[in-house]
């Protein structure tokens, strides 16, 4: 089966849709709108807005989720970076780097923000809040 990988514009003779094993396939050619909705649904499954205020929300899970999406293939990365609601969920602590906060805020564009402030904040700790 011959397909064109939208992410790289290369012809792939063996595109089988195995995203974890390759960087091409059926998922790499999914139109941006449904792919963006799938990413947003995945985020909602991991971080339901109804439970987002709990203090046990883990920033590591959020970073792992977004890293997985943006590192699967170039097409997924492009769609993810252009999906503001994917970047509008912020888990902040006194160790959150300013660069991370700035990046996520820029990517979230005008999407409503969902912010979870983790406690405790240590006075004098270099972070996004100083």
Identify the CA nearest to 77 among candidates 6, 129, 126.
6
With H, G, I as helix, E, B as strand and everything else as coil, classify residue 7. coil
- At residue 70, the pLDDT reads 96
Q: Which long-range contacts (CB under 8 A, 24 or more apart) does 71-74 make?
A: 72/19, 72/23, 72/27, 73/7, 73/19, 73/23, 73/24, 73/27, 73/28, 74/7, 74/8, 74/23
Q: In whole angstroms, give the CA distance from residue 59 to residue 91.
A: 6
Q: Indicate whether 56 and 116 sit together in one domain.
A: yes
pLDDT in tens, 10-54: 434 333 333 343 445 676 778 999 999 999 999 998 888 777 666
- At residue 95, the pLDDT reads 84
The pTM for the full model equals 0.69
Q: In whole angstroms, give the CA distance from residue 108 to residue 115.
A: 12
What domain count does the chain have? 2
Q: Indicate whether 4 and 18 sit together in one domain.
A: yes
- At residue 124, the pLDDT reads 63
- At residue 54, the pLDDT reads 64
Give the chain's mean pLDDT: 77
pLDDT in tens, 50-79: 776 666 667 888 899 999 999 999 999 999
- At residue 75, the pLDDT reads 93
With H, G, I as helix, E, B as strand and everything else as coil, classify residue 10. strand
Q: Which two tokens stand for residue 52?
A: 């987002």
Q: Which two tokens stand for residue 80?
A: 């993810």
- At residue 24, the pLDDT reads 58
Output Rg (C-alpha) for the chain, integer angstroms: 17
Q: By residue range, what is the domain housing residue 23?
A: 1-30
- At residue 112, the pLDDT reads 94
pLDDT in tens, 89-99: 898 888 889 99
Burial of 42 per CB tally in 10 Å (0-12, 13-18, 19+): middle
Q: Indicate whether 11 and 54 sit together in one domain.
A: no
Q: Indicate whether 54 and 77 sit together in one domain.
A: yes
Q: Indicate whether 96 and 40 sit together in one domain.
A: yes
Q: Indicate whether 113 and 95 sit together in one domain.
A: yes
């Amino acid at each position: 089966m011959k397909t064109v990988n939208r992410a790289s514009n290369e012809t792939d003779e063996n595109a089988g849709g195995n995203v974890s094993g390759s960087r091409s396939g059926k998922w790499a050619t999914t139109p941006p709108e449904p792919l963006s909705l799938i990413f947003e649904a995945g985020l909602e499954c991991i971080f339901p807005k109804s439970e987002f205020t709990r203090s046990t929300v883990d920033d590591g899970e959020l970073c792992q989720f977004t890293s997985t999406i943006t590192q699967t293939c170039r097409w997924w990365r492009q769609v993810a970076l252009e999906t503001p609601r994917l970047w509008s969920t912020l888990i902040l602590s006194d160790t959150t780097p300013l660069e991370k906060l700035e990046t996520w805020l820029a990517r979230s564009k005008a999407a409503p923000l969902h912010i979870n402030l983790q406690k405790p904040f240590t006075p004098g700790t270099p972070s996004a809040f100083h």
